[in-house]
Structure 1
Amino acid sequence: METKITQTNTNSPLDWIDNLRVLATISVIFLHVSASITAKFGTISFISWTIGNVYNSSVRFCVPIFVMITGALLLPRDYEISDFLKKKVGRIVLPFVFWGSIYVAFLVFVKVSKGFKFTFLKTIQYLYEVIQNGIYLHFWYVYMIIGLYLFIPILGRWARNSTEKEILYFLILWSCIVCFNYPIFSKYKIDFNLSYFSGFMGYLVLGYYLSLKSDFGKVNANTVAIIMIGLGISSTIVGTSFASIKAGTFDKTFYEYLTPNVLLLSSGVFVFFKNQRGKYDSFKKLRMNISKYSYGIYFVHILVLMVLNKIGINGALINPIIGVPFTTLVCLMMSLGIIYSLNKIHFTRNLAG
């Protein structure tokens, strides 16, 4: 009889999950700061662009890790659908509406300042288009995660009642679909309908599976993780460089989250952090606050980056080697301060994230 996978990891889940969430939060900011460098391919020195590429390639795991954490935490639990929608989905929707309103107001202000005149019908049409298209550049993640949340009560029940072989079957099919996201492989794709195995849902299941999986045969888990991280980062750096040089413009194919290189990197980071031992006492209060307010930090950090850019603090400050990490640190501290303060105000406590 085939057996189900069970939790064998002896670490406290809160330790490694919190550390992963902190890493992913910092990495999202780091990614967006370095993106301002990689987008300038051909207009800045190749050395400066390469620094941005190395930085950006090294943190492409950030969004997949957030999804994998969600899978690790929510899929093992049994929920009544009504309770789940009310408690879990509501918890992510309220900050989405709050910050979405702020970004929409900002976009409207920009349009008006440029001389655009809103009528009632134009206002309705503009708001519809903005909301339909994702409000602002980083809101796509929230649209995606809300969609995934709607499936979690059903997906969780399947995962908990599946054997390890059945989960691996799903993940293997999903990984094959991910591979076809490379243009070089897509032309060989047979037109079977495998859409059920595509998208970020695979990261949910992967996070659940890896959170329970501890046996990697005779090979040490950390060794496997480090190899995966190394292969993931190096292939992203080299692939992006060659693709961009060949195209004569920035090619972000290898940056996509649903690609084998990012899948390797994300899996490696997840396994590595899961298998770390220690009490993690260093900067404990700061670490816990970043973890606690990570959702709000995700929303506000783009506004903070825009303000910082206005005063000359960005990834190109002095040199990308210095500018990217420095700007990331400043943005992180400012974003954390804003969300921490909003959570101390009664009216915005449940809205800020």
Structure 2
Amino acid sequence: MKPGKLPWANDLRAFATIGVIVLHVAATVSLQYPAIPKSYFFTSVFFDSAMRWCVPVFIMLSGSFALEHYDGRMGNFFRKMFLRIILPFLFWSVVYLFFFSWNDLMDPHKTVAQLFSFILKQLLSGTASHMWYVYIIVCLYLTFPFISKWTRAAVEKEYIYFLSIWVILLFLNPYLDHYDTSFDFSYFSGYLGYLILGNYLFKAPRKINGVWLIVFFAAAFLYTALRTYFISISGNENNEVFMDNLSLNVLLMAFCMYLFFKNEQYFVRPLLRKVIDLICEHSYGIYLSHLLILNIFLWCGLSFVFIHPLLSIPIITFATVGISCTLIVLMKKIPLVKSLAG
């Protein structure tokens, strides 16, 4: 995805890209519970919880830039969406299909029809666990031709009206699931709320004091980490129910992180600025490819608990970011594959 025009947005996208990898490395550790020590599990939950805002922020940035800059030319918009999002997604989906399902693809007992059905099922459901985000973002992009008309015409009260219903439903949904209700709240639910929230916050002139943003983020993070840890300990298995992207605690973390980067002044050294801009420029490709790198590490026998996760999670994260970024940069230098890199 192309970097945003504003430095804070570039920085936020780069930080979120690193955060997603932290999340997946930490999850690889926490999924081993109860076979790992509780201190290892708590550390992995700590890292995982701290980065749960990443995917919601990606969607909020799409609302801030892609949605805000939609110009009504549908043909041009969908052509760009295919080239920038769908084409790299299809390429990496095939890569993961062969990586994870090689034995199934090479099964001599499968008929052509069975093989076709298997491939289609894999592509429709996702050939790798992190690909779900791309399915979500494509569906959200399909709403742009009409959602953009609303966001351009909507006044603040209308934004608040929609977002208030969305937030209330995030709170009520766990309880509504226990009742057989005929109300259809799907029009105000799901990831569309993050898209609208990002568009609203991008244009909102009001600022919230940075200290309060830090306090609210810390409260939401601690709630997520502690509830996840103790419910997992009590059930003697990893339980991520409080890490759901569509939960109020994760929403609050995403809200605070977005506004902190947007509103606060901070200094970045020139060398670090170059690294951040490089990660931002290649963020989509890094996102698509990073799980391949992580699984190659595992395939080569590297345990993510070779040392305490307090050290192993950052080490593996930065190694993965570096290798993934290098891979995407090199791919973009090759004419035949540069459009597939992401």
TM-score range, shorter chain: over 0.9
How far does the alpha carbon of each residue in 1:40-93 deviate from its partner, in whole angstroms, 9 at most, with x for none? 222211111000000100000110011011000022223222221112343201
1:118 aligns with 2:110: yes
Task: Decide which of 152, 162, 168 is 2:160's aligned counterpart.
Answer: 168
Question: How far 1:187 moved relative to its partner?
Answer: 4.1
1:192 aligns with 2:180: no
Counterpart position of 2:212: 224
Counterpart position of 1:179: 171
Question: How far 1:243 moved relative to its partner?
Answer: 2.1
Question: How far 1:105 moved relative to its partner?
Answer: 2.2
Check conservation: 2:49, 2:243, Cα contact below 8 A: yes
1:58 aligns with 2:50: yes
Counterpart position of 1:80: 73
Whole-Å Cα distance in 2 between the matches of residues 116 and 33 of structure 1? Answer: 35
1:236 aligns with 2:246: no
Check conservation: 2:93, 2:126, Cα contact below 8 A: no
Q: Decide which structure has greater helix share.
A: 2
| Letter of the 2:131 counterpart | F
Whole-Å Cα distance in 2 between the matches of residues 348 and 336 of structure 1? Answer: 15
Task: Decide which of 295, 303, 315 is 1:306's aligned counterpart.
Answer: 295
Task: Decide which of 128, 131, 135 is 2:123's aligned counterpart.
Answer: 131
Farther off after superposition, 315-324 or 271-280:
271-280
Task: Decide which of 101, 105, 108 is 2:98's aligned counterpart.
Answer: 105
Equivalences, count: 337
1:14 aligns with 2:6: yes
Whole-Å Cα distance in 2 between the matches of residues 240 and 182 of structure 1? Answer: 16
Check conservation: 1:75, 1:157, Cα contact below 8 A: no
Normalising by structure 1, we get a TM-score of 0.90
Whole-Å Cα distance in 1 between the matches of residues 235 and 211 of structure 2? Answer: 36
Check conservation: 1:84, 1:153, Cα contact below 8 A: no
Counterpart position of 1:8: none
Whole-Å Cα distance in 2 between the matches of residues 277 and 65 of structure 1? Answer: 19
Check conservation: 1:95, 1:352, Cα contact below 8 A: yes
Counterpart position of 1:349: 338
Counterpart position of 1:245: 233
Task: Decide which of 268, 276, 281 is 1:287's aligned counterpart.
Answer: 276
State the identity %.
Answer: 32
Counterpart position of 2:286: 297
Whole-Å Cα distance in 1 between the matches of residues 238 and 174 of structure 2? Answer: 16
Counterpart position of 2:140: 148
Query: RMSD of aligned C-alpha atoms?
Result: 2.0
SS at match of 1:350: helix
Normalising by structure 2, we get a TM-score of 0.92
| Letter of the 2:322 counterpart | M
Change (3 A) 1:167 1:131: same
The gaps in structure 1 that reach 5 residues or longer are 1-11
Check conservation: 1:22, 1:294, Cα contact below 8 A: yes
| Letter of the 1:19 counterpart | D
SS at match of 2:338: coil
Check conservation: 1:15, 1:279, Cα contact below 8 A: no
SS at match of 2:15: helix
SS at match of 1:351: helix
Counterpart position of 1:202: 193
